[in-house]
Every structure is written in C-alpha cells, then in structure tokens.
Amino acid sequence: MNLPFEPQRQTQDYQASDAAHHIHAFVDQKALNAEGPRVMVRGEGLYLWDSEGKRYLDGMSGLWCTQLGYGRKDLTAAAAAQMDQLAYYNMFFHTTHPAVIELSELLFSLLPKHYSHVIYTNSGSEANEVLIRTVRRYWQVLGKPQKKIMIGRWNGYHGSTLAASALGGMKFMHEMGGLIPDVAHIDEPYWYAQGGELTPAEFGRRCALQLEEKILELGAQNVAGFIAEPFQGAGGMIFPPESYWPEIQRICRQYDVLLCADEVIGGFGRTGEWFAHQYFGFEPDTLSIAKGLTSGYLPMGGLVLSKRMAEALVERGGVFAHGLTYSGHPVAAAVALANLKALRDEGIVRQVKDDTGPYLHTLLHEVFGNHPLIGEIQGTGLLAALQFVEDKGTRKRFANENDLAWQCRTFGFEEGVIIRSTLGRMIMAPALVASRAELDELVDKTRIAVDRTARIAGKL
C-alpha cells in the first residue's frame, strides 16, 4: 500500500481501544463497537485518508466546518506562533490580549454595521446557551424581566448541551432528558414534506404566522426571542420559501421579540454571502457563530449582538455575570484571525458566490434534474440538498427514506466521497476552496451513490 502518511498502528488495534474507552456522538455505541469506526488519519485540501489508506473527497467540510479545507499551513503557523507567544490567558480579572482584539476588529469589518459586540465561546452549543442568558438579561435591563420564553422550531438544531438541545426541535433529544422551562416550538418551513396543496409562498407565510399565533398564545409580554437557522442544517438542509423570513421579521418587530439567527452552519461564506441571513435578506438581533469561524481547526464560537442590545447591556446592564475559562482563547483567536483573513484576502466568499456556487448548482440540475429518485434540489453557494421521492407528482416520500439515505451515504463512502444523509435528503457542503474539478468529482461520485440507491428503491 502506498500511503501518504506513516500508519502508527493497525486499524483493528485503534478500533478495539476506541471501543474500550470512547462514547461517540449520536450513535448506538454497542452497534458501532461491533462494526468498528472508520479511523481518519490525514487531511489535505478537500481530501481525507483513513487508516487503510482509502482516500475520500470530503463533501461535508468535516461537519460543515473546514471552509479552507484541510492542511492549511497559514493556520497551523498562526496557532504555533500564538502558542509560543502566549498559549493561554483569560478574559476574567480585567484582562485581554492582542489576538482576540484583532479577531473582533476583523469580524466586525465583515459583519453588517448594526452589529457591534461579541461574546466568545468554544462551540455553537455554548453560543446558544449564552444566547438564552443574554437575551433574558437584555429584557431585565430594559425593565421587562417577565420576557423569558424562547421560541424555536421543530427539527431545528442548536446544539447538544441541555438548553441548546431544548431550543432545538429534535424530539429524540428532548426525550433524553433534554427539556427546560420557558421554551416553545413552532413548525419548520419544510414545504416539500409538509406543504400539502399550498404553494411554497403560501406555505412559507403559513409557517411564519404560526410564530404570531404562538406569541399571542404565550403573551408577547412573556416572549424574549425567536431562534432559527436561516436554513436548517442538521435537520436536512432545508431552505424556507422566500415568503418566510420577511414575515418572521415583521412579526418579531411587531411584538418586540428578539430575532436570533443561528449562523453556526450558515456563517462564513457557505451561501456565497458572509452570513446566511444576508442571503435571505433579514436583519437578526443576534447571531450565533462557530464552525467556519476557525475552519474547525480549533474550537471557537460566539454570540454576536446588535448595537442596540450591546448598548443596553454595556451602558445600563452593570455586571454581566457570565464567563468561560476559554472565552476568546488566544490560540483559537489567532487561528480564527488567520482563517478570516484568508477567506477575505483570497476572495473565497466571492468565488463561491460568482463562480463555484453557480457551477455546482448548474451541474446538480444537469445531473439530477430528471433523476427518478430526486424530487427537489435545494441550496445555493457550496451548499446543496437532494430530496429522495417515491412519487414526484404527489411528493410522496419513501416509508424507509431514512434507511435509503443512510445506504446512499454508505455507497458514497465506498465510492470515495463523503455526503451527509438525513431523513430522505442527501446533503453536500464541501470546503469553500473547492475547485470546479473537485466539484465535478463530488457530483460524479454522488451520482454513482444515488444511482445505486435508486436501484435498491426500484427506481432504476
């Protein structure tokens, strides 16, 4: 075997030790132990290698993270230099450091001008934990402490910690002891599955009006904020109809409810705009960020606040009783700074908008537009979902769509491409540095996986 790395140990040896000690994410651990996890050992650009030397084109940017791809020497150099200079200090005790100052400067030069402050965290889940406390604090400062309830959406995803999973709408997570008081949910705007006879525009408005109904039911004087992903990521890369966001924004403004966008997946260029809310054309009060902030090279997240909120908290709020040991970690900040500089200076976000994004979507429509298994192609920029369908006329989905999607993902691995499966949808979100040739390969290998799935489903 000609491997591009020196394997340290046998795959089975890694797997046995992993099974002995490690509880993985979102999996039946016993079943995984029996199967043995794939051991990833190297990444370069869009490619990954496992411990058997098999190469994969990573069509998911790790977990929607690696905007710059793997193996960027400028990011490793930034981390090493910062570790040498100041590996750690904290934001407690009236202290700061240059890396975090420069990161914030750059971040706000990229954001729309009505945002001014950020609270750094280590992850997206923490950003949303902090969100709840910050939003409630904001209303306290404004003399409305009863405004505490957060409204989220069914099938939304905001993280895996207690409050973040409660904000999210994954019922199977709630059932694992994951609910907190003062959180409510409305339906997701998933027209293909739930739109029935309504047009997408009618359905988008209908879903948005559910927010108004929920606010009136709970009492606007009790509702603090509405949180949603601009497009749903983990829930299936679902784009709302165009009518949705303008109506949601109107309702939030009308009832004085903060509009909180979870940009953990949508942020940092994924849609071809710096932030997904810009693509959809609305103005949230807060933005939860993580993932692409560092291209996933180190854990870092944050909660971005509008000037209006920051002004109330800073000028009138007194002590803000919140802080994490690793908030604004210098090494993570240095890597985030190098990452954002590269995204900006190499014109990568613009390239996604003007070149590679349209290229990918043209290609997907050519290849899958008339495919017997695919009912809908959604997305923009370097972000796409393929919807499996049993009957295109009625949009009837397969009873076993989850199994089919998982099978498609497995075929993808066999073909050397990583795509994400959710309930009946296949997702692609490759690194933003993807070239046209790499996108050709992504679509080519995905087509083979989808064709193989179509054969199992009796569609080819």
Sign of CA pseudo-dihedral 340, 230, 273, 255: negative
Nearest residue relative to ligand PXG (C-beta): 124
Stretch that binds ligand PXG, among 204-212, 260-268, 307-315, 366-374 (CB under 6 A): 260-268
Closest of 362, 343, 371 to residue 436, by C-alpha: 362
Q: Report if residue 234 touches ligand PXG, rule: CB under 6 A.
A: yes
Minimal distance, residue 185 CB to ligand PXG, in Å: 15
Nearer to ligand PXG, 125 or 286 (CB): 125
Nearer to ligand PXG, 37 or 53 (CB): 37
Q: Which are the contacts of 210, defined by CB distance < 8 A and separation ≥ 6?
A: 186, 187
Nearer to ligand PXG, 157 or 326 (CB): 157
Q: Which of 43, 62, 159, 424 binds ligand PXG (CB under 6 A)?
A: 159
Q: Hey, which residues between 42 and 81 contact ligand PXG (CB under 6 A)?
A: 63
Stretch that binds ligand PXG, among 155-163, 278-286, 302-310, 447-455 (CB under 6 A): 155-163
> What is the CA 222 to chain-centroid distance, rounded?
29
Residues in binding contact with ligand PXG, number by CB under 6 A:
17
Nearer to ligand PXG, 313 or 428 (CB): 428
Q: 3-class secondary structure for the chain? A: CCCCCCCCCCHHHHHHHHHHHCCCCCCCHHHHHHHCCCCEEEEEECEEEECCCCEEEECCHHHHCCCCCECCHHHHHHHHHHHHHHCCCCCCCCCCCHHHHHHHHHHHHHCCCCEEEEEEECCHHHHHHHHHHHHHHHHHHCCCCCCCEEEEECCCCCCCCHHHHHHCCCHHHHCCCCCCCCEEEECCCCHHHHCCCCCHHHHHHHHHHHHHHHHHHHCHHHEEEEEECCCECCCCCECCCCCHHHHHHHHHHHCCCEEEEECCCCCCCCCCCCCHHHHHCCCCCEEEECHHHCCCCCCCEEEEEEHHHHHHHHHHCCCCCCCCCCCCCHHHHHHHHHHHHHHHHCCHHHHHHHHHHHHHHHHHHHHHCCCCCEEEEEECCCCEEEEECCECCCCECCCCHHHHHHHHHHHHHHHCEECEEECCEEEECCCCCCCHHHHHHHHHHHHHHHHHHHHHCCCC
For residues 288 and 260, the answer to whether their CB atoms sit within 8 Å is yes
Q: Report if residue 379 touches ligand PXG, rule: CB under 6 A.
A: no
Minimal distance, residue 455 CB to ligand PXG, in Å: 26
Stretch that binds ligand PXG, among 6-14, 88-96, 259-267, 383-391 (CB under 6 A): 259-267
Nearer to ligand PXG, 63 or 209 (CB): 63
Q: Report if residue 188 touches ligand PXG, rule: CB under 6 A.
A: no
Q: Which of 119, 290, 404, 439 binds ligand PXG (CB under 6 A)?
A: 290
Q: Report if residue 166 touches ligand PXG, rule: CB under 6 A.
A: no
Stretch that binds ligand PXG, among 154-162, 177-185, 190-198, 382-390 (CB under 6 A): 154-162
Nearer to ligand PXG, 163 or 454 (CB): 163
Minimal distance, residue 124 CB to ligand PXG, in Å: 2
Q: Report if residue 229 touches ligand PXG, rule: CB under 6 A.
A: yes
Minimal distance, residue 16 CB to ligand PXG, in Å: 26
Minimal distance, residue 179 CB to ligand PXG, in Å: 17
Nearer to ligand PXG, 229 or 441 (CB): 229
Q: Report if residue 233 touches ligand PXG, rule: CB under 6 A.
A: yes
Rounded to 5 degrees, φ, ψ at 49 are -125, 140
Q: Which of 118, 119, 223, 265 binds ligand PXG (CB under 6 A)?
A: 265
Rounded to 5 degrees, φ, ψ at 117 are -135, 155
Minimal distance, residue 300 CB to ligand PXG, in Å: 9
Q: Hey, which residues between 108 and 137 contact ligand PXG (CB under 6 A)?
A: 123-125, 128
What are the CA-CA distances from residue 440 to residues 44, 405, 434, 444 (Å)?
A: 18, 21, 10, 6
Nearer to ligand PXG, 124 or 317 (CB): 124
Stretch that binds ligand PXG, among 169-177, 258-266, 360-368, 399-407 (CB under 6 A): 258-266
Nearer to ligand PXG, 129 or 212 (CB): 129
Q: Report if residue 295 touches ligand PXG, rule: CB under 6 A.
A: no
Minimal distance, residue 427 CB to ligand PXG, in Å: 7
Token pair in block for residue 183? 């959180």
Q: Hey, which residues between 410 and 439 contact ligand PXG (CB under 6 A)?
A: 420
Closest of 192, 190, 191, 188 to residue 392, by C-alpha: 192
Which residues lie near ligand PXG (CB under 6 A)? 63, 123-125, 128, 157-159, 229, 233-234, 262, 264-265, 290, 301, 420
